[in-house]
Amino acid sequence: MADSTSDIYVSTTEILENHGIYRRLHELQTFYRNEYGSEPKVYVRVPGRVNLIGEHVDYCGYPVLPMAIDQCILLAVGYTEANTQLELRNMEKEKYEDFSTDLSKLQIIHKASSPPPWYNYYLCGVKGILETLTDNEIRYGMTVAISGNIPPASGVSSSSALVSSAVLATGYVHHATLNRKTLASISAACERYIGTQGGGMDQAIAYLAKEGCAQFIEFYPSLNATPLRLPEGACFVVANSLAEMNKAATSDFNERVVECRLGCRLIALNKNFNNWKDMQVFAKLQAALACDLAQLERYALEFVSQDIYKRSELCEVFGVTNEEFERDFLTENTRNMQQFKLKQRTLHVIQESLRVLEFHEICEKYSSNSLHSNGMHVNGNGDMSFESTVSRLSQLMRQSHESLKTLYECSHPNLDKLVEISHQLGIGARLTGAGWGGCIVALCDSVESSNSYIEALKDKYYSKLSTEKLQFDNFDNVVFATCPRNGAELLTLQ
Ligand code: ADP
Ligand code: NG1
Ligand code: MG
């Protein structure tokens, strides 16, 4: 059904056998048949992701370096012109209740300060694509079965995989243009209906990921993804701290976004921009200043010099009333904020972005050296051996974690423990995703070392957890080595 403007083609699943998807698709097919008494017409796969470096910078317009993982959301989808009813059935029935609604009366109801119901994420995606259609075009009912194995609320983007899968399924059924970048942008925008003001990394990698490569994803001035070859032999391990954190359940995430926007405006005001109020994305400000990140850091140190700004101080500096401040600078769930740690948030964003550029440059240099030097990894810029490359990348990952812990204050004692154990084992690691719980990502220099690292984590971390958290049949989805996978796809089962 996808038209010529599509770059997402429906493919058969034969090629997926190696990736462990085939069995799950067949189980999903059986589940769909039992629930709806018919055959699904199409399947959707959208992966989770692990971000290698560049945390909490996407909503400031700065590049990130994620890759898609094996774990994914799978949908089995049927549709009809007989009604406009949406039916959702999740294979984890005890955890995720059945849901149905009429697509022509779609409403996303959310009580603040509690985690949103799971189906709200799906509805965000449906709303996002329906907004691109006219009322006449909304004429299909959909029956959907869902299977997910991305650890939820753990920083590897289960939410965006679910939102993006809803966008793709609904878009396909309603003949929308299925261009990957457009779908990524729609998915990023509509996930904000859940309440968090994310930057678009998760949805971008969900659609733009390519097998075998991480992606350097830029957001400013527009969305762009460039594949990045990682040093051959390097291997990334994801380890779940098992502390879950639903990002839409608290105001923490949006508080950081708000602080970044204020830090940016403060520099813009001091640099005499008349439009300082609209300058809320650091990458845009940097472009307007025509300076590099190092210069922006100097401006930050000069103009965002206080550790803590009180609300009244910021009202005075910006020349706005308390009401205007609340209306124009805060979000619904941050309107009670009284103190703003603008200096440390701003410095994290700028320094983390510098680390992303360095990480990217090291990988590029290593791979171009590998291509041209017949294995002699030495050039004019110093030691480019595999060992020194991995060691420098590991150091950047450790620095990233330290910054997230101390400047951005979005870590969790269990994440710090995992990073600390990794450090003692000689492995560079950092929290991945938004934080406050969830997973770390660690860099190993071979498959063998990743295996022994995983065993060491079981011994030094997981065996020490409370028995309640240890009731796992296996650890495959808790701590695992991961390879870069492809982005979202539409499938039919053979
Ligand atoms: P993450 O870091 O995984 O993106 P979020 O806090 O953003 O975490 O979103 C997690 C929420 O996404 C879960 O609480 C749940 O509502 C929803 N979710 C994730 N996976 C599934 C799934 N397989 N089925 C239903 N809902 C899911
Ligand atoms: P997770 O942890 O996957 O919900 C969030 C944001 C990203 C990005 C990271 C931090 C959403 C959907 N995702 O990810 O945009 O800001 O935190 O780098 O808001
Ligand atoms: Mg999320």
Predicted TM-score (pTM) above 0.90? yes
In angstroms, the CA 155 to CA 49 distance is: 9
Phi, psi of 144 (to 5 degrees): -130, 135
If you take atom 7 of ligand 2, which residue's CA is the nearest one?
198
Whether pLDDT at 92 is above 60: yes
Whether pLDDT at 329 is above 80: yes
What is the token pair recorded at 289? 């200043």
The DSSP symbol for 276 reads G
- Asked whether the beta carbons of 89 and 35 are under 8 A apart, the reply is yes
The DSSP symbol for 291 reads -
> Which residues sit with their C-beta closer than 6 Å to ligand 2?
55-56, 58-59, 155, 157, 159-160, 191, 196, 198-199, 201-202, 247, 433-434
What pLDDT, on a 0 to 100 scale, did the predictor assign at position 480?
Answer: 95
In angstroms, the CA 282 to CA 267 distance is: 9
Q: Which residues contact 89 (CB under 8 A, 6 or more apart)?
A: 31, 32, 35, 36, 98, 143, 144, 145, 146
DSSP characters over 70-110: EEEEEEEEEEESS--EEEEEES-TTTS--EEEEGGG-----
Whether pLDDT at 5 is above 70: no
> Residue 248: nearest ligand to its CA?
1
Of 350, 348, 364, which Cα lies nearest the Cα of 435? 348
Taking residues 82-104, what's their average pLDDT?
97
If you take atom 5 of ligand 2, which residue's CA is the nearest one?
434
In angstroms, the CA 489 to CA 323 distance is: 46
Distance in Å, CA 201 to ligand 2 centroid: 7
User: Per-residue confidence at 447, pLDDT binned at 50, 70, 90?
Assistant: very high
> Residue 243: nearest ligand to its CA?
1
Q: What is the enclosing helix (H) or strand (E) of 447?
A: helix 447-460
Whether pLDDT at 343 is above 50: yes
Q: Which pairing describes strands 141-148 and 85-90: parallel, antiparallel, or unpaired?
A: parallel
Separation of first and last alpha carbons in the chain: 17
Taking residues 263-282, what's their average pLDDT?
98
Residue-wise pLDDT for 156-174, tens only, equals: 999 999 999 999 999 999 9
Atom of ligand 2 nearest to the CA of 163: 12
Distance in Å, CA 211 to ligand 1 centroid: 24
Distance in Å, CA 211 to ligand 3 centroid: 22
Whether pLDDT at 136 is above 90: no
What is the token pair recorded at 218? 């830029």
What pLDDT, on a 0 to 100 scale, did the predictor assign at position 467?
Answer: 64
Whether pLDDT at 378 is above 70: no
What pLDDT, on a 0 to 100 scale, did the predictor assign at position 384?
Answer: 85
Phi, psi of 145 (to 5 degrees): -115, 140
Of 493, 477, 444, which Cα lies nearest the Cα of 77? 493
Whether pLDDT at 4 is above 50: no
């290698």: which residue's tokens? 52
Instruction: State whether the beta carbon of 203 lies less than 6 angstroms from ligand 1.
Output: no
- Residues annotated as catalytic are 202
Amino acid at 139: R
In angstroms, the CA 143 to CA 169 distance is: 11
Give the three-class secondary structure for 241: coil
